[in-house]
Structure formats: structure tokens, C-alpha cells
Amino acid sequence: DTAVSQTPKYLVTQMGNDKSIKCEQNLGHDTMYWYKQDSKKFLKIMFSYNNKELIINETVPNRFSPKSPDKAHLNLHINSLELGDSAVYFCASSQAEGGRGAKNIQYFGAGTRLSVL
Amino acid sequence: GQQVMQIPQYQHVQEGEDFTTYCNSSTTLSNIQWYKQRPGGHPVFLIQLVKSGEVKKQKRLTFQFGEAKKNSSLHITATQTTDVGTYFCADVTPLVFGKGTRLSVIA
């Protein structure tokens, strides 16, 4: 079984559309994350959720909204897609957030490659 | 905000040569994690360093944490084509990733 799974793997859409990416983890972790990786491979954290509460929200446009129905799922909804949103989006999870020990090791999904035309 | 600087951005080596990537911060790092991302893949956790001056080894990979906990390095001895990918360091608290070093290995 895949520990962190995200769908779809590829997403091609037109500017202005609204789209969602789904993420599920079966590791029993308390914290989930969304990352954006651009064409230069820079990995930028967008959001993290801990027990259904948003705990990090970097300077991300409010067109991006994370939705967590339960601690095993963290979906990413994007409104009014723009060309600059084209990137690979990774979902990840960790047992906890911050601190020492192995609880903050991140497990990444396979990524969703979003292309906005 | 806090920044974690990683150098070099790219490195091309002949197979069998050594490779090192460095991670630096102007502020004290909490814990440092290292991840590897193969081309077309996703980041995979390699190791976490917690203590000042800590050194850990995984086969041909050696990870170091600076005495002042402001820098870290990953050294690969005798690179192989399987080492190709992008190596990221990350400070854990707050969670900040370096920009990565992309390693190419020429057979």
C-alpha cells in the first residue's frame, strides 16, 4: 500500500479554471503538508495541517485553500488558475510537527504535475 | 524569514569522484534533515542530525552537523550513477528547505 497517495498524477487545465488535488495518508500521522516545486526544483512549503488545524500558511495566494475532512486527508483546492501555478505539487505527512526525534520525518506523495495553459 | 542556503546549486561529476553539498544558515538550526529526490520522483528522507558536531554515515554517504549548528554537509564518496538526483537539506523548526543541489554523474 502506498503510504501517501495523491491524485491526480497529472492535471492539465486552462487559465481561470478551478481544480482540486486530493491527498490521503495511511500512516496514522497527525500532520500533513502541501509543497510546490517549480521548474528550478525549489521546494516551497505552502500549508501544513495538524489535527485539522492550519499551523503554517506561507505567503500563498488566497486562491489556494487546503481542506482537511479528517487527519488522513488534506486536499488542495485552487481557484482561478494562473500560468504561474504550473508546477509539481507534493503532499507529505509526518507523525508530528517540529521537535526532535523521528516524529517529524516527512513522507512525500508521488506528486501532481499541474500544467496551466 | 529564516533562510537555509544550499550550495552548489548544480554539480556534475565523473563516476567515481567525490561530491559534497553544503547547507548554511545565519541562525542556529534546530535539527537538520537531508532528503534525496531522484529525477521524476519525490523527496525521500535520508537522515536527521540533531546534535552539535554530529557525524553519521550511510555506506558511501557522510553527513555532518556543524559545531555551532549553523551548517551541515553531505559528502558522497566515489559517486555512482545511482546517486543522481537533487539533495535537499531542511531545518525542522521552523520547517524550511534549502533550494537543493542537483547532482549529475557522468559514467
Cβ atoms of residues B28 and B70 within 8 Å: yes
Model confidence pLDDT, tens digit, residues A72-111 = 999 999 999 999 999 999 999 998 766 666 788 999 999 9
| Among A62, A72, A58, residue whose Cα is nearest residue B2 | A58
Q: Which three cell numbers stand for residue A53?
A: 488545524
**The pLDDT of residue A54:** 81
**The pLDDT of residue A16:** 97
Q: Which residues pair with A20 in a beta bridge?
A: A77
Contacts of A107 in chain B (CB under 8 A): 45
Residues contacting B44, CB < 8 A, separation 6+:
A108, B35, B36, B37, B38
Contact B43/A at CB under 8 A: yes
Residue of B nearest to A42 (CA): B99
**The pLDDT of residue A98:** 64
Model confidence pLDDT, tens digit, residues B74-90 = 999 999 999 999 999 99
**Subunit contact B95:A97, Cβ cutoff 8 A:** yes
**The pLDDT of residue B2:** 66
**The pLDDT of residue B1:** 61
Model confidence pLDDT, tens digit, residues B15-71 = 999 999 999 999 999 899 999 999 999 999 999 999 999 999 999 999 999 999 999
pLDDT for A59 beyond 90: no
Cβ atoms of residues A90 and A38 within 8 Å: no
Cβ atoms of residues B45 and B27 within 8 Å: no
Contacts of A98 in chain B (CB under 8 A): 30, 92-95
**Subunit contact A41:B37, Cβ cutoff 8 A:** yes
Contacts of B84 in chain A (CB under 8 A): none
**The pLDDT of residue A1:** 63
Mean pLDDT of chain A: 90
SS (H, E, C) chain B: CCCCEEECCEEEEECCCCEEEEEECCCCCCCEEEEEECCCCCEEEEEEECCCCCEEEECCEEEEECCCCCEEEEEECCCCHHHCEEEEEEECCCCEECCCEEEEEEC
